[in-house]
């Protein structure tokens, strides 16, 4: 989990949309080791993350 959080910080500190807005990275609280675990973990969009902006920042 530490590596994921360090990668999140690196990306958010250095990657920006064309309008200058910094990207936001979502890191889940757990890892997925199989199908049962993937169903049990909450989806980031249900956890209140804003998933409305596409990768290009134009959607």
pLDDT tens readout for residues 11-40: 999 999 999 999 999 987 766 677 777 777
**Domain limits for position 9:** 2-40
Q: How far apart are CA 15 and CA 10, in angstroms?
A: 8
Residue 16: strand pairing partners: 22
Instruction: Locate 4 and state its tokens.
Output: 């994921």
Output the pTM of the full model: 0.53
Residue 45 maps to a domain: no
Residue 49 maps to a domain: no
Confidence class of residue 59 from pLDDT cuts 50, 70 and 90?
very low
Residue 16 maps to a domain: yes
Residue 53 maps to a domain: no
Residue 59 maps to a domain: no
Residue 26 maps to a domain: yes
Number of domains in the chain: 1
Residue 7 maps to a domain: yes
């Amino acid at each position: 989990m530490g590596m994921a959080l360090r990668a999140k910080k690196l990306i958010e500190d250095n990657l920006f949309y064309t309008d200058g807005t910094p990207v936001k990275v979502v890191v889940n609280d757990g890892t997925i080791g199989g199908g049962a675990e993937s169903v049990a973990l909450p989806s980031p969009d249900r956890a209140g993350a804003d998933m409305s902006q596409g990768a290009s920042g134009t959607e």
